[in-house]
Amino acid sequence: MQAILALEDGRIFLGTGYGAPGECQGEVVFNTSLTGYQEIATDPSYAGQIVVLTNPQIGNYGTNQADNESAKPYIEGLIVRELSLTSSNWRSEQVTDEYMERYSVPVLSDIDTRALVRHLRTHGVMRGVMSTDVSNPEALVQKARSIPKMDGMDLARVVSTQSIYTFDENDPRNEAGDSLLSLGISQDAPQFHVVAYDFGIKMNILRMLVREGCRVTVVPAETSGEDVQAMKPDGVFLSNGPGDPEPVDYAVRAIRKFLGRVPVFGICLGHQLTGLALGGKTYKLKFGHHGGNHPVRNNITGKVEITAHNHNFAVDPDSINANEVELTHVDLNDNTLEGLRHKSLPLFSVQYHPEAAPGPHDSNYLFRDFRKMMEEWKG
């Protein structure tokens, strides 16, 4: 079947539709990862977005439950150069076309994704509509222009868990169904109790925390700082998530409540909320960072880490009090602030994704740093 992408500026891309028939809409972004399309699709940070993958062939190794980063895909739609209708991998349980149809995700294939990505890089991310009804492109352009902008939109409360739960290998939210032992995660009694805010948390973050000897209690995005302190955690984790950080003011208030009272580690949206809690400001990037190959310099060690990114907003480094906060990481592509650490309080955060999934493992050490911080705090 034919399918179409209509952008708000009038640009049209006509191709072939797969996955779920029908229509979807959202902010169109591109991801430069070479692998990991299923993990990308199930990352809640992509809520409200249509994702363009730059790797030319997608779907060739199929899909399986173990690679889900959440219970379902959160992308609105998927755009690829070529969708493989067969899978060639022993782990595959379902071909990608059927997987996307199962979860009602439309796929647009057979378009010039290179031209689309260059267009988005030049003009910035923009709203778009994908549809299998190609009869009236101009109507789709007008519809794209009417889509609410993500600026000022709180999506964290939309994707967050609605109830408190403890993550372990048997938890029904662990859709992968893998035992933690099979993933190389220690089964020893946990040394630390970590409360993890779910603003759109990825499964591999939870696994990484468990790997560092943590019992993880996951709480909804709107949980108050007082309620978290009542759980007597050894550390608090602030997760990744979608949307604009500034409307998530309830989380900023919560962070300020336990700041200095317990070690804190933030990733992605959690980093942005940390910056706001410290009195900083955030801003929206032209086309965001989405991919598994971004070079980030660690200002403390001088080393360069190749990292996984998925964010549209960033913390303004000039808004951070340099007397209190050290700027620890910077993106070498555009000098975006990628990490900070408080000079006197047990607090650090990074904009990128040290848990990857998909992506490199250069930054796994940050989970060990969090464990060491909790050890020192308890000691």
Residue 291 has pLDDT above 90, yes or no: yes
Question: For residue range 164-174, what is the model confidence (pLDDT) as tens digits?
Answer: 999 975 454 44
Q: Work out the average pLDDT over 149-154.
A: 92
SS3 content of the chain, % helix, strand, coil (to 5): 25, 30, 45
Name residue, tokens 């804190």.
264
Residue 23 has pLDDT above 90, yes or no: yes
Q: Is the pLDDT of residue 108 over 90?
A: yes
**On the CB side of 248, how many CA atoms lie within 13 Å of its CA?**
40
* pLDDT band, residue 379 (cuts 50/70/90): confident
Which active-site residues does the annotation give?
Answer: 268, 353, 355
Residue 176 has pLDDT above 90, yes or no: no
pTM: 0.94
Report the share of the chain in percent with pLDDT over 90: 93
Whether the pLDDT of residue 179 is over 50: the answer is no
The dotted CATH code for 156-378 is 3.40.50.880
Question: Which pLDDT band holds residue 185 (cuts at 50, 70, 90)?
Answer: very low
- Supply the pLDDT for residue 169: 52
Q: What is the pLDDT of residue 190?
A: 87
Per-residue pLDDT, averaged over 71-93, amounts to 97
Mean pLDDT, the chain, rounded, equals 94
Confidence of residue 142 (pLDDT cuts 50, 70, 90): very high
| Residue extents of the structural domains in the chain | 2-145, 156-378
pLDDT of 193 > 80? The answer is: yes
Contact, 291 vs 32, CB < 8 A? yes
Local confidence band at 180 (pLDDT 50, 70, 90 cut-offs): very low
DSSP 243: S
The whole-number pLDDT of residue 178 equals 44
What per-residue confidence (pLDDT) applies to 189? Answer: 77
> Contact at 8 Å (CB) between 211 and 151?
no
Q: How many CA atoms lie within 13 A of 211 on its CB side?
A: 18
Look at residue 171 in the predicted model and tell me its pLDDT: 52
What's the pLDDT score for residue 188? 64
Q: Which CATH number fits domain 2-145: 3.50.30.20, 1.20.140.10, 3.40.50.720, 3.90.1150.10?
A: 3.50.30.20
Residue ranges with strand state E in 316-369: 325-331, 337-342, 347-350
Residue 175: what pLDDT? 42
Q: How many CB atoms are located within 10 Å of the residue 214 CB?
A: 25
CA distances in angstroms from 89 to 61, 62, 94, 95, 340, listed in the order given = 5, 7, 10, 10, 40
Please check the confidence at residue 111 and state whether its pLDDT lies above 60. Answer: yes
pLDDT at 378: 87
